[in-house]
Structure 1
């Protein structure tokens, strides 16, 4: 199902993840968030940008346990816990946040 972003059609897979990761932009993230019924706040963006940096460095989308630990190290303990991350991304911090960040579905996510 294509995603319409600023007059451009972006290809997504059957679960709504971007097919071409290079097409991701912040406006694309806003559209992807709409499909998830999420309104992005500064806290969401912090996690989204963290995920993109992580992916650029390691070429893998982190599973939730890895994500929680890594965020705790970089952004502090109060943000590096699953309760905080699930409040931001109720359908799964790794799965839902990776989708909005334009990354592939994390390995180990159902």
Structure 2
């Protein structure tokens, strides 16, 4: 029996952005800063400069390694790029509550990190 995935759409300006059942972009090329703002708003997050720094680190990581980092590699990448103070789990939890690696990757327009439930 085939499984049917339910996709939903995010209206951003005059564009319909397709999201998978977990809320990740189906087409990574659909990502824009405005899409990020809309995805963040769905989570009750207003993006600040600190959020954008982490989003940029994530997008750079993905470009380099072709995968979104799980929590441990994310902490290390942020510490390397932004300094030890920002590269701490507690800082990332404050910015992206719950599961920072998953939530930040989703807002950054990246696939769900491997090894994240």
Runs of 4+ residues deviating >6 angstroms: none
Q: From 32, 38, 41, give the equivalent of 2:39.
A: 32
User: Partner residue of 1:22?
Assistant: 29
Would you say the 8 A contact 2:102–2:112 is kept in 1? yes
Question: Is contact 2:28-2:109 (8 Å) kept?
Answer: yes
Give the gaps of 5 or more residues in structure 1: none
State the partner residue of 1:76: 83
Q: How many residues align?
A: 110
Q: Which runs of 5+ in 2 are unaligned?
A: 1-7
1:96 aligns with 2:103: yes
Show the counterpart of 1:6.
13
Pick from 81, 93, 96: which aligns with 1:86?
93
After TM superposition, the score normalised by the length of structure 2 is 0.92
Are 2:71 and 2:100, in contact at CA under 8 Å, matched by a contact in 1?
yes
* 105, 111, 116: which one aligns with 1:109: 116
Shift of 1:86: 0.2
SS, match of residue 60 in structure 1: coil
Q: TM-score, normalised by structure 1?
A: 0.98
Match of 1:43 among 40, 44, 50: 50
1:34 match: secondary structure: helix
Deviations 1:5-60 (A, max 9, x none): 11100000011100000110000000110111111000000000110111011100
